[in-house]
Chains A and B, each alone.
Chain A
Amino acid sequence: MEMRESFRAPFLTMAWQRHARIADLVSRGDVAELRSAASELHCLSGEASMLDFKGVAEAARLAEKAAREGDRDALPKLVAGLHAAIKAVEDGGT
C-alpha cells in the first residue's frame, strides 16, 4: 500500500476540488449542471477505485447515479455522504 500512501495527498487535493464543484453544480441543479456533476463524480469514483479508497468510490458512484437520473431530492444527502467519505480518507482511512 506504499503506492496508495504516496497518492493520498494528491488524491485529497483533487477530491476536495471536485467535491466543491459538485456541490455547486448540484445546488444550481438544472439538467446541464447535473450532467456536469455526474461527469465529475464519475472521475472521482474512478480515481478512488484505482487507489482502493472504497468509501469515496461507492459514495461517488451512488451520487453519480442520482445525478444521471436527475434525482434532485436524493443528491444533497449523497453529496454530504461523499464529503464524509473524503474526510475519512483525510483522517487516514480508506
Chain B
Amino acid sequence: MIRVVTVDDSSLSRMILTRVLEADGDIKVVGEASNGFEAVPRIQELKPDLVTMDIDMPGPNGLETIQRIMHTCPVPILVVTGERLGPETDLGFRAIQLGALDFMAKPSIADEASMVRLRAQVRALATVPVFLHTEDREQLSSTGRMPSLPDAPPFSLVAIASGTGGPKSVATILRSLPADFGAPIVIVQQMPDKFSGAFAKYVQSITELRVTLVEAMPHDCMPGEVLLSGADAHLYFPRRGVIVGMHGEPYAGQRPSATVLLRSVAETYGSSAVGVLLSGTGDDGIEGLAALRSTGALTLAESPSSAAVADTPKAALECGAAARALPAQMIANCILSAMAGMNKKTTAPPSTDPLATTAVPPSSTLAEPRKHGDV
C-alpha cells in the first residue's frame, strides 16, 4: 500500500484528490495538511511514501514548503497544481529545482485519463529515493574537477534526453555552460505538451544561453543555443546544423521522443555529438543513445545514485547505451572539459572522482539501431 499525504489549502480539493488516489485500492491517503506550516510536522509524524503538493497556497506557498520538507524530512513530492499554473508560469519547474520530483495538473473527474495518470505517477515516484537538502549533494560534486575524457572526440552538438526528475539536472548542466559555449544544445524533456512553453521560460531564467523553441519550419542551429520542442512534435535533424519540429506519430508512446532525436543526431552528427541521458522512467532515449554510441560518440548517463529517478539512466548503463555514469554537475564539467580540450588541443587533468571512472563497455547487441516504428 502506498501511503500519501496531500497538502492543499482547499479542503474540497483534498477530498477529491483522496477519492481519485484511492480509487484502485493500492494508494491510501493517510493524512493531509492545509498549509505549509502543517505539512512538515504531519510528514514527520506519518512518514508517507509520497506527498502531493499544491503550489498556490496562503502562508508558506508550495515552493517554500517543498524547500522546508527537503531540508528536514525529505520525501518524494509530486506537485499537483491548478491547471493554469502550468502553461503560464514556470512554477512547476521551480518546484523541481527545489526538490519535487515532478508536477502535473490537478485531475478533472470528467477526464478519466487525468486520474489514471495521477495514480500512475504516484506509483512511479513513491519508491524514488530522495535525500536531505539535495543542493548539498550537488555541491559535493561541483568542485570544479574536470574529468578526463580520453575517448571523447571533438563535438559540435550536445543532445540531452530528460524525463521525470530531470529538469533539476538540466538546470545544473545549463547553469554551468557559459554564454559563449561553442555548440548547440538540444533537449527533449518528457512532459505534457501544454507545459512546453513554461519549461522554455524556466530554462531561459536559469541560463545565459539563448533558448529557442523549435517549430515546424527548419531552424539553423547556432553555437550556444538551447533548442527545445516548441510544440507536440519530435525534434529531428534532417541534416547537420538544421533542426525541425516534426509532427510524426508518437514513437513508443512519446512525442517528442528522445530516441527519435538521438537517432537523427546519430545519423547526421555521428561521433561529433555528445549524448546525455538524465533522470527518468521508461525506456525513451535508450535506443537512440545506443545508436549514437555505435557511431563512436561520447554517451553519458546521469549516475543512478544521484539521479532523482534512476530507472532510465540505470537501464542505459546496463545495456551499454551510455559509456559513462556521472552526476549532473560532472556531466557539465565533462562537456566543458571536452570543449576546452577541443579548443586548446590540450589534455584535461585526470579526475579523482571515482564516479567519473565508471566506464561501461559498449554492447555489441546495440550496434544496429532499431528501425523507426519497431517496438
Residues of A at under 8 Å CB distance from B? 1, 3-4, 7, 10-11, 14, 39, 42-43, 45-47, 49-52, 61
Report if A43-B9 is in contact (Cβ < 8 Å); known contacts: A3-B19, A51-B16, A61-B84.
yes
Contact assessment for B106 and A49 in the assembled complex, using a CB-CB cutoff below 8 Å:
yes
Q: How far does the alpha carbon of A7 sit from the alpha carbon of B107 in the complex, in Å?
A: 15
Contact assessment for B12 and A52 in the assembled complex, using a CB-CB cutoff below 8 Å:
no
Complex contacts, A52 vs chain B, CB 8 Å: 108-110
Complex contacts, B16 vs chain A, CB 8 Å: 7, 47, 50-51
Complex contacts, B9 vs chain A, CB 8 Å: 43
Name the distance in Å between A26's Cβ and chain B's nearest Cβ. Answer: 18
Complex contacts, A49 vs chain B, CB 8 Å: 82-83, 106, 108
Dominant secondary structure at the B interface: loop
Most chain B CB within 10 A, of A4, A10, A50, is at A50
Contact assessment for B84 and A50 in the assembled complex, using a CB-CB cutoff below 8 Å:
no
Contact assessment for A43 and B10 in the assembled complex, using a CB-CB cutoff below 8 Å:
yes
Complex contacts, B109 vs chain A, CB 8 Å: 1, 3-4, 7, 50-52
Contact assessment for A50 and B19 in the assembled complex, using a CB-CB cutoff below 8 Å:
no
Say if the beta carbon of B58 comes within 8 Å of chain A.
yes
Contact assessment for A46 and B106 in the assembled complex, using a CB-CB cutoff below 8 Å:
yes
From the candidates A3, A4, A7, A46, name the one contacting B10 in the complex (CB within 8 A).
Answer: A46
Residue of A nearest to B10 (CB): A43
Known contacts A4-B109, A50-B107, then 7 further A-B pairs from the complex at CB < 8 Å, ordered by chain A residue: A39-B58, A42-B56, A46-B10, A46-B83, A47-B13, A49-B82, A51-B16
Say if the beta carbon of B15 comes within 8 Å of chain A.
yes
Residues of B at under 8 Å CB distance from A? 9-13, 15-16, 19, 56, 58, 82-84, 106-110
Name the distance in Å between B32's Cβ and chain A's nearest Cβ. Answer: 15
Q: How far does the alpha carbon of A11 sit from the alpha carbon of B16 in the complex, in Å?
A: 10
Name the distance in Å between A39's Cβ and chain B's nearest Cβ. Answer: 6
Name the distance in Å between B60's Cβ and chain A's nearest Cβ. Answer: 14
Complex contacts, B84 vs chain A, CB 8 Å: 45, 61
Q: How far does the alpha carbon of A24 sit from the alpha carbon of B304 in the complex, in Å?
A: 54
Complex contacts, B12 vs chain A, CB 8 Å: 7, 10-11, 14, 47
Complex contacts, B110 vs chain A, CB 8 Å: 1, 4, 52
Q: How far does the alpha carbon of A10 sit from the alpha carbon of B11 in the complex, in Å?
A: 10
Q: How far does the alpha carbon of A11 sit from the alpha carbon of B19 in the complex, in Å?
A: 14
Q: How far does the alpha carbon of A43 sit from the alpha carbon of B11 in the complex, in Å?
A: 10
Q: How far does the alpha carbon of A43 sit from the alpha carbon of B83 in the complex, in Å?
A: 11
From the candidates B11, B13, B56, B58, name the one contacting A50 in the complex (CB within 8 A).
Answer: B13
Complex contacts, B11 vs chain A, CB 8 Å: 14
Contact assessment for B10 and A47 in the assembled complex, using a CB-CB cutoff below 8 Å:
yes
Complex contacts, B15 vs chain A, CB 8 Å: 7, 10
Name the distance in Å between A59's Cβ and chain B's nearest Cβ. Answer: 14
Name the distance in Å between B203's Cβ and chain A's nearest Cβ. Answer: 26
Q: How far does the alpha carbon of A60 sit from the alpha carbon of B78 in the complex, in Å?
A: 26
Name the distance in Å between B161's Cβ and chain A's nearest Cβ. Answer: 32
Q: How far does the alpha carbon of A11 sit from the alpha carbon of B10 in the complex, in Å?
A: 11
A-B contact pairs, 22 of them (CB 8 A): A1-B110, A4-B110, A7-B109, A10-B12, A14-B10, A39-B56, A39-B58, A46-B10, A46-B106, A47-B10, A47-B12, A47-B13, A47-B16, A49-B82, A49-B83, A50-B16, A50-B108, A50-B109, A51-B108, A51-B109, A52-B108, A52-B109
From the candidates A7, A14, A42, name the one contacting B82 in the complex (CB within 8 A).
Answer: A42
Complex contacts, A50 vs chain B, CB 8 Å: 13, 16, 106-109
Q: How far does the alpha carbon of A51 sit from the alpha carbon of B107 in the complex, in Å?
A: 9
Q: How far does the alpha carbon of A7 sit from the alpha carbon of B83 in the complex, in Å?
A: 20
From the candidates A3, A39, A46, name the one contacting B13 in the complex (CB within 8 A).
Answer: A46
Complex contacts, A47 vs chain B, CB 8 Å: 10, 12-13, 16
Most chain B CB within 10 A, of A39, A43, A45, A61, is at A43
Name the distance in Å between B122's Cβ and chain A's nearest Cβ. Answer: 16
Complex contacts, B107 vs chain A, CB 8 Å: 50
Complex contacts, B82 vs chain A, CB 8 Å: 42, 45-46, 49
Residue of A nearest to B23 (CB): A3
Residue of A nearest to B58 (CB): A39
Name the distance in Å between B288's Cβ and chain A's nearest Cβ. Answer: 37
